[in-house]
Structure 1
């Protein structure tokens, strides 16, 4: 296939092709983690369909004009007719996976980097199953590269818009009784002898976007023993989950499960050369799934 790479075929050296998120998922597979199967529509697909964008310098400082520029450009991208061969490769790869419900995730070439995470700047679409909906979601991901917020963020980080491209990850939905984020050092204090694990019932995307308050465990390195537990406020509405999890006074995960998750996270940190990691995970059907890993960008150097 010309435009498709399966996750097990990717590594850090493929960042220019698969974006930061896609390259890091390939590394998680290489590290032996339980990663939901999937593939990446590389930036070559984006570049074939989306002409180079030149943003006039004066627009970037005028929020009203930037919004107008963004809206018009996104409309053009959403109206693109995908080439038949590219469309065929996406559908063929999806059917090869067994046509399961998938997450369609953006993976920019300026994303999940050591000094700038770009977290939340591009779109993700969950529980997508119809083939047409997958193709439409690909274009929505491409368009999200040119939201006013994303353009503004890139400018603040010193990235040239002309240098940025977007790959798209199409990945089987993981079971998600409980999901969350783990940090392999304490990002609040900088303590390298502690990990922080945040978790809540249902899909982890709500935690990533700051839409729910999770339970929080502070765990000791390297054994994952729970040092402190802070329960989340009772949610006003229950989230969507693959199966309703059981909550105990110590949260939705047991101490043993925290130890297990901590061991995976430390293996990931070691795989990435000891660089502290920000890791997305989910738990369901009796096992943990690792969904993303990126360097923590908020630590003092």
Structure 2
């Protein structure tokens, strides 16, 4: 196929083709992790469908002017007609997966880099079901590359518009009784002997976006022994519980904490020991790995 690659066909060297998210998912498959099945509509698909975009000269700090320009670009992208050859490749691959409910995730070529965090700059669409909905979500992901926030961030980081391109990951929704993030080095203290695990019940997108307070564990490397547990405050409850209150139970057991720590340290080792920010979900008795990227907030 010309525009589509299965996750298992991708490696970290494919960043320019599959974007950071797609390339790293391929590496997780290569590392033997349990990764939900999926594929990537590559950057070649984006370039084949979207005419080259040139921004007018504009003050990047002038947000109203920037918003006026970028909203027009986004509308044009969302209304584009997909060429038959791209549509066929996407839908044939989706059907071979069994046409499941999927997550449709943006995967930019300038994201998940050690020197800059582009995470969250483009959109993700969850629980997408059906062929038409998948195609529409792909176009929305492409359009999110040109939101005012994403354009401003790229320009301020020194990335020109010619460097902007977007692959899209289409991946079966993983079971998600619990979802979370692991930092393989404590990014709050730079302590390399500790990991931080954040977790919530259900889908983890609100956690990734910083919208809710998770249960949090600080665990010891390499065995995953729990050093500290801070439960998420219950609705209407103070985040500083009284001593008379029973200790809260988190959404993971101590054994599950150890298990996810073991998995994440294997991933860090696979990525040459570079500390990782790893997204996962848990369901049906197993952990599923959804993403891994370098931690960009650590101090040298």
Instruction: Flag whether TM exceeds 0.5 (same fold).
Output: yes
**Aligned equivalent of 2:78:** 78
Cα deviation for residue 117 of structure 1 reads 1.9
**Aligned equivalent of 1:36:** 36
**Aligned equivalent of 1:273:** 272
Cα deviation for residue 58 of structure 1 reads 2.3
Matched, 1:208 2:202: no
1:53 and 1:161 in contact (8 A); partners too: yes
SS of 1:29's partner is helix
**Aligned equivalent of 2:262:** 263
Separation of aligned partners in 2, 1:222 and 1:158: 38
Separation of aligned partners in 1, 2:205 and 2:69: 28
Cα deviation for residue 249 of structure 1 reads 3.0
SS of 1:75's partner is helix
1:24 and 1:293 in contact (8 A); partners too: yes
TM-score for the superposition, normalised by structure 1: 0.95
Cα deviation for residue 59 of structure 1 reads 4.1
Separation of aligned partners in 1, 2:32 and 2:158: 35
Deviates more, 1:111-120 or 1:56-65: 56-65
SS of 2:182's partner is strand
Cα deviation for residue 61 of structure 1 reads 3.3
2:58 and 2:65 in contact (8 A); partners too: no
| Superimposed CA distance per residue, residues 226-259 of structure 1 (whole angstroms, 9 cap, x where no aligned partner) | 10000001147xxxxxxxxxxx933010000000
Taking the TM superposition and a 5 Å limit, the aligned residue runs for 1:46-85 are 46-85=46-85
1:36 and 1:174 in contact (8 A); partners too: yes
**Aligned equivalent of 1:286:** 285
**Aligned equivalent of 1:249:** 248
Separation of aligned partners in 1, 2:3 and 2:55: 27
**Aligned equivalent of 1:107:** 107
Separation of aligned partners in 2, 1:147 and 1:179: 27
Separation of aligned partners in 2, 1:36 and 1:29: 9
**Aligned equivalent of 1:168:** 168
| Superimposed CA distance per residue, residues 156-187 of structure 1 (whole angstroms, 9 cap, x where no aligned partner) | 21211211100000000000000011000000
Separation of aligned partners in 1, 2:274 and 2:249: 29
- Structure 1, unaligned runs of 5 or more: 237-247
Separation of aligned partners in 1, 2:181 and 2:57: 37
1:212 and 1:235 in contact (8 A); partners too: no
Taking the TM superposition and a 5 Å limit, the aligned residue runs for 1:179-198 are 179-198=179-198
1:117 and 1:294 in contact (8 A); partners too: no
**Aligned equivalent of 2:146:** 146
2:58 and 2:66 in contact (8 A); partners too: no
1:101 and 1:172 in contact (8 A); partners too: yes
- Structure 2, unaligned runs of 5 or more: 237-246
TM-score for the superposition, normalised by structure 2: 0.95
2:107 and 2:166 in contact (8 A); partners too: yes
Separation of aligned partners in 1, 2:276 and 2:293: 6
Q: 1:235 to 1:151 in 2, by over 3 A?
A: farther
2:196 and 2:216 in contact (8 A); partners too: yes
Separation of aligned partners in 2, 1:160 and 1:291: 29
Deviates more, 1:44-53 or 1:7-16: 44-53
| Superimposed CA distance per residue, residues 142-165 of structure 1 (whole angstroms, 9 cap, x where no aligned partner) | 000000000011112121121110
